[in-house]
Structure 1
Amino acid sequence: MRFRTLTAAVALLALAAGCGSSGGEKTTSSEGKQLDKVTLTLNWYPYGEHAPFYYGKAQKIYEKHGIDLTINAGQGSQKTIQATAAGQNDFGWADTPALLAGVGTGMKVKSVGVFLQTTPSAVQFFSDKNIKSPADLKGKTIASTAGDALSKTFPAFLKVNGLQASDVKLQNLDAAGKMAAVLSSQTDALLGFATDQGPTIQEKGKKPVSYLKFADFGLNFYSNGLLTSVKNLSEKKDLVTRMVAATSEAWTAAGANESGAVDAMKGASEQLPSPTVLKEQFSATLKLLHTPATEGKAPGVNDEGDWRKTIQVFADAGVIDKAQEPSAYWDVSFAPKG
């Protein structure tokens, strides 16, 4: 089975992308500087991981780079990638496995830098379940979403830890349903991002949540990053360069002021988590920015070897039919400096 939803009708793209691409429009800042209007569609509704974008806008980091940024909520990485490839928005923030699958189906889109280089993918559960290692998952019921990257890579996670897919039972639910199932004890755990659902479940359930993080148990791969259409890469090189530089700078600045970054998210969405959850989400996200190969480098600087490892993980998992060269998925020429 592949990411079948990646071939969904183009008619759905405008809905997924919010208000769409800026189409080269210009605005003028309060200081009289001419700015390019740019749209960024997230992978999901705003949560703590996205704080740097709001902080970068509030602190006029994007404006400094000549960008008037509009941030739109997403409806999943796959739809964000579809919309970006079709030119419905200028840039997307999406999960790398969905990008690999999209390129594999012919979508003209590429990464210009993965920022979350350690996957937040995890099995999440209340600590009183007494699950300490992957072996403790045997016989457990786990909420998942059919067809997403987590459900695709979970068998690989089980395999590297000496388990088989038949050792656990997966219950297919949507994003909200997964959390509800854990909160109501209908399932023992869920598959999700440790930087997303876990803090929310802990707050709502009023008891500690624990994790089996894929990266801690033998399976790491690239996660969320910035992407744009191949057309933009060739026709708007200067804009892409500025957007990548501004985003890297925004992540650096937000990491130096976590509370300020989270405060910048006020009013971002009606579905916005509480300030406490946002802080936990963002703090956990900051631990994912580098691998040993990129430690000490600017956020968004990638290593070709890490790309190759990620591509191979998803080729082995059946997410992509063919493992192509990293250049098929990623354009290194826009890497941030510093």
Structure 2
Amino acid sequence: MRRRTLAAALLPILLLAASACSSGDEPAANASGSGAKGADKVTLMLNWYPYGEHAPIYYGVKHGIFAKHGIDLNIQAGQGSGATVQAVGAGNADFGWADTPALLAGVEKGIPIKSLGVYLQTTPASVQFFSAKGYTSPADLKGKTIAGTAGDALSKTFPMFLARNGLKLSDVKIQNTAPASKISAVISGQVDALLGNANDQGPTIAKKTGKGTSAMKFADFGLTYYSNGLIASDSELSKTDLVDRMVKAMSESWTEAAKDPKAAVDSMAGTSQQLPAPEVLRKQFDATLQLLHTKDSTSLPPGANTAADWNATVQTAKEAGLISTAKPVSDYWDDSVALKG
């Protein structure tokens, strides 16, 4: 009898301990909302481990914007936009944050998924290097060795960037490099530059080396297309009320975070073991804020897209070989709930 009584007394303690130990392999990569009573529990998978671009999402959680819209948001780290597209399409996450070229390629492969609005409407795609190298135009890249990753959107659009500036792919040497190894390849001098996003690697390289970095953006030299935004599976899109609230909460989070970049970056503190230093996050976020609109969407809220910009992106993807067939925009973008341009 005494043993049964002792076991009963210990049960709540054991359950509490089990709960505390059930946070998974990468607990710091997640962030969840307030758990407000009656709120819908929603999972959002990022395109990568958290970095400055994601600050508005964490801001929206910390400052109750998602909760206000009845959403208890759990943010999960990703392993690349392609993996996020697959995970969301398979129902392993409710929503995703992913690159539009990856979404287009996913739709072509039959993954049942659509965009609910692109936020980085000017591509951050760029060639990044130490500022001391003095590259100012694509012509300066001739004969240089550049770290790239075979098969990704950057490697497929880079030849278009070169062609629009009078160069051929054979004018440079591409060194096939894993995404996580590009930074070290530049720092060690194995390559002259890397293909990456202007709001990502540069500040990290500068922090690690104490040297200035520069980014030659594709968009500044005649080539742009939609980049990262909110995605959902076709089955999730049937939950029209939830999707509508998620879209509104996301756009409001970006609007408010842009007003207070420091608070936005501060909202990310402690969210991931891989989180860059605060000063790196701030530079990444500041660079991200320059990418939110095209000339046709400057008067629209964050995440509001135009059919013309979508058409241009689809055509660019086809020209680059990212997709073989250009389908109607409605096959990629669901504007029935999304913010409309």
Using structure 2 for the length normalisation, give the TM-score: 0.89
| Counterpart selection for 1:282 from 280, 285, 290 | 285
Letter in 1 for 2:66: Y
Name the larger-Rg structure.
2
Native 8 Å contact 1:122 1:193 kept in 2: yes
Distance 1:294 1:78 in 2: 26
Q: Is 1:242 aligned to residue 245 of structure 2?
A: yes
Q: Is 1:120 aligned to residue 124 of structure 2?
A: yes
Distance 2:228 2:86 in 1: 15
Q: Is 1:61 aligned to residue 68 of structure 2?
A: no
Change (3 A) 1:61 1:317: same
Superposed, which structure 2 residues align to 1:227-306 within 5 Å? Answer: 227-234=231-238, 236-306=239-309
Letter in 1 for 2:303: G
Distance 1:202 1:211 in 2: 12
1:202 deviation in Å?
Answer: 1.1
1:186 deviation in Å?
Answer: 0.6
Q: Is 1:132 aligned to residue 155 of structure 2?
A: no
Distance 1:131 1:247 in 2: 37
Distance 1:28 1:57 in 2: 10
Using structure 1 for the length normalisation, give the TM-score: 0.90
Native 8 Å contact 2:306 2:340 kept in 1: no
Unaligned runs of 5+ in 1: 1-14, 19-26
1:51 is aligned to: 55
Give the secondary structure class of the aligned counterpart of 1:221: coil
Distance 1:216 1:81 in 2: 28
Q: Is 1:323 aligned to residue 316 of structure 2?
A: no
Distance 2:117 2:101 in 1: 14
Letter in 1 for 2:142: K
Instruction: After superposition, give the CA deviation of every residue in 1:185-238 in whole Å (9 maximum; x if it has no partner).
Output: 11000000010001101111211101110000000000000000011112x111
Question: Could you tell me the percent identity over the aligned residues?
Answer: 61
1:335 deviation in Å?
Answer: 2.4
Superposed, which structure 2 residues align to 1:2-41 within 5 Å? Answer: 29=36, 33-41=37-45
Question: 4+ residue stretches of structure 1 with deviation over 4 A?
Answer: none
Q: Paired residues, what number?
A: 313
Distance 1:167 1:220 in 2: 22
2:153 is aligned to: 149
RMSD between superposed Cα atoms in Å: 1.8
2:167 is aligned to: 163
Letter in 1 for 2:237: L
Native 8 Å contact 2:126 2:216 kept in 1: yes
Distance 2:255 2:299 in 1: 11
1:28 deviation in Å?
Answer: 5.5
Native 8 Å contact 2:107 2:113 kept in 1: yes
Q: Is 1:175 aligned to residue 188 of structure 2?
A: no
Native 8 Å contact 1:298 1:337 kept in 2: no
1:334 is aligned to: 337
Give the secondary structure class of the aligned counterpart of 1:228: strand
Letter in 2 for 1:319: L
Unaligned runs of 5+ in 2: 1-23, 28-33
